[in-house]
Structures are given as structure tokens and as C-alpha cells.
């Protein structure tokens, strides 16, 4: 079931409405409206308004307290004005979901505005000046704001721990859930419980319940399921559970519980199929949740391509530690290239070094396909079509 979207202004429920024959979401309590960038582009008489809005949002400051109803991330405050300077707007935009929030009356004002050429009003220049001051202060502290090296720190202090261990973190995500990601937590708990119960005789359990390409339907096909939740070591388990926890909640909140479960198993089976395809004669058991986690990460990268994912690094020039962040889509692309190269090397050397690279790629395919279909479906719905 789809998650209920909450108003970023008052917390009330958003209802699906039609504005000028286009789909939008309105709050019955405060009267605000949520509109996709694509819909807004079709509403305006000129594309210049939306182009300017999107351009400004790239460097706009975060809007404190304004959470995107779709992904629950802090939106960005974009200040705009018409050519005559009489109309001043402060719109909140989520670049990850490409959604714009309008306070009561603002949407009608935008749709009916004659002059669409935009420029920054005095208040916008003031806000941007404050943002420049923040950037200068960050630079003096050895940091920058946005994508790139020496980025600003993540919002939650606990993220320093995985960062120092070399793991990626979401830079701006708040630690709040609009709904409990039950499927993600259940998969995480199942992996943990299975490891605790099998730790005493792990080698024997893996040999019996791991997926062996040369015998894909052993134990009446049970290994197709059991292999997904078995892990070969503590670090193997911890690494997989971390990635599942970091990216799985966002994916489930986007898809809903039932579709999340479908994606999980579809990615897991796809990973095993590609692992079998690339080495059907192998008798080495394959275990781990990285197959379906690859699908989850792939869906995340396609659905939230501009989310900032950061890494902690040692600053040799100024001492201490800094942060570097990249958009999710770029990191996923680099990951795919790495997996392809390593899979080719493993195939040539006839050894994988203990890592099933082909399974990672196979698991990612359903996530990419589903993510693309999800985006196409959203655009189709924005144009008044039937959801895919």
C-alpha cells in the first residue's frame, strides 16, 4: 500500500487533486499544494520559469523544518520574482524527487503569471548572500558545501563511525521514518538470526544450504532462498546489513511493503541466475544478501539520483578528517564499471577471489529496470495517464 504523504507545512494529509487538468497534491488543512517539476513545466506558459527555478535550487539553502512529502528529506528554499519585481515567491523544492511545494495561493499565481522571465528579488539576494557567507565560513574550516571534496559534515553524528570505517553515508537524510520499513527490518533481522544460529558450524551449513551453480536445485530448491540469508563471516554480515539499512528504508518507503518484498526476491533470484550463468560448473557454494541488496541500491540510485552520498577521508593538508560527497547515480555508475571489470578478470582467471561479481550485476538489473519503470510511470501519471 502506498505511503500517505504529509504536508511539509502543517503535517496534514495530502490529497490527490487536479489543477488545470494536471495532477497535484493538496493539503486540506492549510491549502498548500505539491506539484512535480514536469507538471509545473506544462502549466507555465514559458519553460523559463521552471528552468530558472531548477537552476537556483542547485545552490539554494536548505529550508529548516520543510520535509519533502515523498522522501522526507529537507527541501531547498528557492526565492524567485517576476520581471516587474512585484511578485516574490519563496518555493520549497526537493531535487531528489523533483517536487515543488507551493503555499496557499501561490500555485494559481504561478500558472496565471504573464511574465515568466525570472530574476532574484532583494530577499532572495539576501538569502543567497547568507548562503555565500556559510560557504566562506565552511571554506575557512577546510570544508565546502555541495558535491565534491571536503564537503560539509553529515547531519547525524553517528554517521562518523561508518564514515571512518570507509563506508558511504547519506549526507542529508534525517533519521525519521514516516512509516516503519517492515520488510527491510525483517530481512535484516533474518540475516542476523540465521548467522547467530549457524555461527557454530558455519562451514557445514554453507556447504549444505549455500547455492552451488553445478547443483542449482539442491535440497528441493531450498538453497535458492537459504543462500540469500547466509553469510560467510562477521564482516560479510556487517557490511551487507549496513548497506541494507542505509538504502533499504528509502526504497521501501518509496515502493511500499509488498513491492519491496517483490524487489528483494526478484533481485536475489536474478543474482543467483547470473552467477549460475557465468559459472554453471562451479561447485563452490555462494551465500550472502549482497545479491538482493544490489537490486535495492540500483533502485535507490535510479529513483534518487541526486542524493548526496559521502565518504570520510584524512585531510593531509589541514589535519583531521573531511568529507567528500557525490550524487548517488555517479557512485552507482562507478560501482557497475568496477563490478564488470572484476567479473571479467575473475572469468579470465577462473577464480572470483571469494566475491561473486556476476551475482552483484545480476541483482542490480531488476533494480535498474524497476527504477526506470517507476520514473516513467510517475511522468505518465503527471500527464494524466494510467499508472504503469
Question: Is the pTM for the entire model greater than 0.85?
Answer: no
CB 143 within 8 A of CB 151: yes
d(CA 207, CA 118): 65
Q: What is the pLDDT of residues 363-379, one digit of tens each?
A: 999 999 999 998 887 76
DSSP state of 5: P
Cα separation values, 374 from 125, 300, 301, 302, 308, Å:
37, 11, 12, 9, 21
DSSP string, 184-244: HHHHHHHHHHHHHHHGGGHHHHHHHHSBBTTBTTGGGGTHHHHHHH--SSHHHHHHHHHHH
DSSP string, 54-67: HHHHTTPPEEEEEE
CA torsion sign, 220 to 224 to 230 to 233? positive
Average pLDDT taken over every residue of the chain? 79
Report strand pairing: 148-151 vs 14-19.
unpaired
CB 171 within 8 A of CB 309: yes
Q: What is the pLDDT of residues 343-361, one digit of tens each?
A: 888 777 666 556 788 999 9
| Residues whose CB falls within 8 Å of the CB of residue 288, separated by 6 or more in sequence, listed in order | 227, 228, 230, 231, 232, 236, 240, 356
Q: Which CATH class is domain 157-382?
A: mainly alpha
d(CA 307, CA 85): 33
Q: What is the pLDDT of residues 93-135, one digit of tens each?
A: 888 888 888 887 677 666 544 333 344 445 445 544 554 555 5
d(CA 84, CA 116): 10
Domain boundaries, the chain: 14-133, 157-382
Q: What is the pLDDT of residues 132-185, one digit of tens each?
A: 555 555 555 544 455 566 546 776 788 889 888 889 998 765 555 667 889 999
Q: What is the pLDDT of residue 149?
A: 60
DSSP state of 175: S
User: What's the grid cell of residue 158?
Assistant: 553517528
Amino acid at each position: 500500500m502506498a505511503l500517505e504523504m504529509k504536508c511539509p507545512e502543517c503535517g496534514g494529509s495530502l490529497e490527490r487533486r487536479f489543477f488545470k487538468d494536471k495532477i497535484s497534491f493538496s493539503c486540506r488543512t492549510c491549502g498548500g499544494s505539491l506539484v512535480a517539476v514536469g507538471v509545473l513545466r506544462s502549466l507555465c506558459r514559458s519553460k523559463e520559469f521552471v528552468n530558472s527555478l531548477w537552476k537556483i535550487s542547485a545552490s539554494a539553502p536548505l529550508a529548516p523544518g520543510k520535509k519533502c512529502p515523498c522522501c522526507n528529506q529537507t527541501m531547498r528554499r528557492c526565492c524567485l520574482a517576476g520581471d516587474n519585481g512585484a511578485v516574490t515567491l519563496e518555493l520549497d523544492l526537493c531535487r531528489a524527487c523533483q517536487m515543488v511545494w507551493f503555499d496557499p495561493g501561490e500555485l494559481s499565481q504561478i500558472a496565471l503569471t504573464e511574465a515568466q522571465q525570472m530574476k532574484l528579488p532583494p530577499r532572495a539576494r539576501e538569502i543567497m548572500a547568507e548562503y555565500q557567507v556559510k560557504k566562506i565560513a565552511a571554506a575557512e574550516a577546510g570544508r565546502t558545501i555541495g558535491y565534491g571534496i571536503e564537503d560539509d559534515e553529515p547531519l547525524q553524528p553517528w554517521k562518523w563511525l561508518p564514515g571512518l570505517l570507509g563506508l558511504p553515508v547519506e549526507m542529508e537524510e534525517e533519521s525519521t521514518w514516516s512509516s516503519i520499513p517492515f520488510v527491510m527490518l525483517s530481512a535484516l533481522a533474518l540475516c542476523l538470526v540465521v548467522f547467530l544460529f549457524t555461527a557454530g558450524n558455519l562451514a557445514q551449513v554453507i556447504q549444505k544450504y549455500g547455492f552451488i551453480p553445478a547443483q542449482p536445485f539442491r535440497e528441493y530448491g531450498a538453497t535458492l532462498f537459504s543462500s540469500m540469508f547466509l553469510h560467510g563471516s562477521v564482516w560479510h554480515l556487517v557490511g551487507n546489513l549496513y548497506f541494507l539499512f542505509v538504502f533499504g528504508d528509502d526504497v521501501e518507503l518509496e515502493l511500499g511493503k509488498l513491492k519491496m518484498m517483490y524487489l528483494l526476491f526478484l533481485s536475489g533470484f536474478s543474482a543467483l541466475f547470473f552467477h549460475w550463468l557465468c559459472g554453471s560448473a562451479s561447485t563452490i557454494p555462494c551465500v550472502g544478501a549482497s545479491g538482493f541488496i544490489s537490486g535495492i541500491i540500483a533502485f535507490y540510485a535510479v529513483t534518487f539520483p541526486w542524493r548526496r552520498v559521502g565518504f570520510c577521508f584524512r585531510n593531509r593538508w589541514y589535519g583531521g578528517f573531511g568529507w567528500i560527497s557525490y550524487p548517488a547515480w555517479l557512485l552507482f555508475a562507478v560501482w557497475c564499471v568496477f563490478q564488470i571489470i572484476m567479473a571479467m578478470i575473475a572469468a579470465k582467471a577462473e577464480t572470483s577471489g571469494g566475491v561473486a561479481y556476476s551475482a552483484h550485476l545480476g541483482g542490480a538489473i531488476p533494480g535498474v529496470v524497476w527504477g526506470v519503470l517507476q520514473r516513467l510511470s510517475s511522468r505518465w501519471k503527471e500527464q494524466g495517464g494510467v499508472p504503469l
